[in-house]
Amino acid sequence: MSEANPMLSLDALTFHTATAALEQGCVALAAGATEFDLAGVKAADSAGVAVMVAWERRARQLGRNITYKNVPPGLHTLVHLYGLDALLPQD
């Protein structure tokens, strides 16, 4: 059985886009998303990492886990810097 994975349409995970990104991710989770493709993300900062943490919390509330694919190197670095490696799959 495959679950729906609505696409996120994000070009940035930054302070300026955090509110919209959070909402978009929560809508995707409510629709059944379990995988977030971040291929379109060209800019990220610490607010983007906070959004990912919030998505994880919402997913847990819904009884599921999120996986991420195509995580940009800069975002991967920030996640590691903040000691949140568990958010991302091991390479």
Quick: pLDDT tens for 28-82. Answer: 999 999 999 999 999 999 999 999 999 999 999 999 999 999 999 999 999 999 9
Dihedral over alpha carbons 79, 89, 12, 81 (to 10 degrees)? 10
Task: Determine if the pTM surpasses 0.75.
Answer: yes
Beta strand 35-37 with 67-69 is parallel
Domains and CATH numbers, the chain: 12-86 (3.30.750.24)
